[in-house]
């Protein structure tokens, strides 16, 4: 980028943050998290000449990189809020929830594609895209409403993290299938499995030995703890992304592994926690939400309404139905089911990545590509707003600590 282009980008960032700041003030007055202001600003700018410039090289390169850093910081901060000992109490329920909230969207997605005359293989691939959750979109709202360390927050984050494994499988399957169709077969699954084994081993070694040793290497000061956090976050995030596991996994694991160190440092840990939160929600997270909004083409819904709506409903209703199966099982209440079901419907990245891969390879046409992107964009708009409304409506009833068990029969209380 030239100096002139850098100057333009800085001025455009200033405009972005100014609009977000003003809109956030209005949103906060009606008790909606201000960070969603960046999402709405991005959606509006998408249809202006400025949006086209920001989505095209060379300006799109630094913005997308900063947006990826925003994901890292947001999820690293979320990882700092996760207590593994508390999560253990719900681990069986989280596995059940993940199975149910991915199986139904998968089946519904296949049915929609077969009903519209598409072949079985493409139906299976599109069905896979109905399964994952983009927890990066919803977890900042959980944190804003102090729901991270509650049953609802643990279910959404836990199932969302397990969904990331689904995302890896989806992209791997699609990449292998495209390789076969285009004659460029790759050994994707072997590499992913190897990377996963190495990542787990590296995380365990870091938790047991590397992080404790490095934490004592420098005096216990905020700047030193920030530096160590960046090493762990960028290291694990970079490795998981490089190994096709997705940096989301690396970022959350990094925060979780660093939490004991933050706890041991007490006051210093609290200061750095607030610093990470400020950076996440005041800078990089804003750019991430803006980038999501900028890429959301709501106009595509008007051009391809039927297929886009069916694909959206396949995922939306599938996840809700899957979550509601947990109610008669006595795992969650009806209020929790609605909130968790809506929260797990947050999506964006995986289906757009898969759609782009299939479209570039010439396997799907512009009609299906537009419908996939439009369904994803509609989710980006509808899910955060609906989730916020539910939390505002049932906030007190949803703030149930993880360790607090449901009273007998409580799962059916509305």
What are the extents of the domains in the chain?
70-284+307-377
CB of 397 closer than 8 Å to CB of 410: no
Prediction pTM value? 0.71
Cα dihedral value 131, 132, 134, 138, nearest 10:
60
Alpha helices for 220-304 (secondary structure H): 222-242, 247-264, 267-279, 285-295, 299-303
pLDDT of residue 16: 93
Q: What parts of the chain have a pLDDT lower than 70?
A: 30-32, 82-90, 136, 164-189, 192, 244, 246, 300-301, 303-304, 348-350, 353, 402-414
Which residues touch 363 (CB under 8 Å, ≥6 apart)? 122, 178, 181
pLDDT of residue 22: 95
pLDDT of residue 175: 61
Report CA-CA distances (Å) from 367 to 32, 172, 355, 371, 374. Answer: 35, 24, 11, 6, 11
Q: Class assignment of domain 70-284+307-377?
A: mainly alpha
Report CA-CA distances (Å) from 223 to 74, 87, 228, 273. Answer: 19, 30, 9, 12
Secondary structure class of 401 (helix, strand, coil): strand
What is the Cα–Cα distance from 228 to 52, expressed in whole angstroms?
38
Q: How many CB atoms lie within 10 A of CB 235?
A: 15
pLDDT of residue 181: 66
Q: Which residues pair with 401 in a beta bridge?
A: 150
pLDDT of residue 407: 40
What is the Cα–Cα distance from 169 to 163, expressed in whole angstroms?
10
Q: What is the DSSP letter of 145?
A: T
């Amino acid at each position: 980028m030239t100096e002139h282009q850098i100057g333009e980008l800085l001025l455009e960032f200033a405009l972005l943050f100014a609009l977000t700041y003003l809109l956030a003030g209005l949103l906060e007055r009606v008790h909606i998290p201000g960070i969603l202001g960046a999402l709405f600003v991005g959606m509006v700018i998408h249809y202006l000449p400025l949006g086209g410039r920001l989505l095209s090289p060379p300006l799109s390169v630094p913005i997308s990189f900063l947006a990826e850093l925003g994901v890292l910081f947001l999820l690293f901060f979320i990882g700092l809020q996760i207590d593994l000992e508390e999560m253990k109490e719900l681990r069986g329920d989280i596995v059940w929830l993940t199975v149910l909230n991915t199986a139904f969207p998968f089946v519904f997605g296949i049915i929609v594609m077969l009903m519209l005359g598409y072949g079985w293989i493409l139906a299976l691939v599109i069905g896979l895209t109905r399964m994952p959750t983009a927890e990066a979109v919803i977890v900042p709202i959980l944190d804003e409403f102090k729901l991270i360390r509650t049953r609802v927050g643990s279910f959404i984050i836990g199932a969302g993290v397990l969904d990331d494994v689904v995302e890896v499988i989806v992209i791997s399957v699609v990449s292998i299938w495209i390789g076969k169709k285009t004659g460029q077969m790759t050994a994707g699954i072997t590499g992913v499995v190897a990377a996963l084994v190495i990542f787990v081993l590296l995380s365990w070694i870091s938790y047991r030995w590397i992080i404790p040793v490095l934490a004592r290497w420098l005096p216990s000061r905020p700047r030193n703890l920030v530096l160590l956090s960046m090493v762990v976050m960028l290291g694990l995030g970079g490795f998981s992304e490089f190994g096709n596991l997705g940096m989301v996994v690396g970022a959350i694991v990094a925060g979780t592994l660093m939490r004991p160190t933050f706890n041991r440092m007490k006051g210093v840990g609290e200061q750095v926690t607030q610093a990470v939160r400020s950076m996440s929600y005041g800078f990089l997270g804003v750019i991430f939400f803006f980038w999501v909004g900028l890429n959301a083409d709501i106009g595509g819904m008007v051009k391809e309404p039927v297929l886009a709506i069916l694909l959206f409903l396949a995922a939306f209703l599938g996840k809700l139905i899957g979550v509601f199966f947990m109610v008669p099982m006595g795992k969650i209440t009806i209020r929790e089911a609605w909130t968790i079901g809506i929260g797990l419907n947050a999506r964006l990245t995986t289906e757009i990545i898969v759609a782009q891969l299939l479209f570039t390879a010439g396997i799907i046409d512009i009609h299906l590509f537009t419908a996939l992107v439009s369904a994803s964009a509609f989710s980006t708009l509808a899910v955060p707003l609906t989730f916020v409304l539910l939390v505002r409506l049932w906030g007190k009833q949803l703030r149930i600590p993880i360790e607090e068990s449901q009273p007998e029969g409580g799962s059916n209380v509305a």
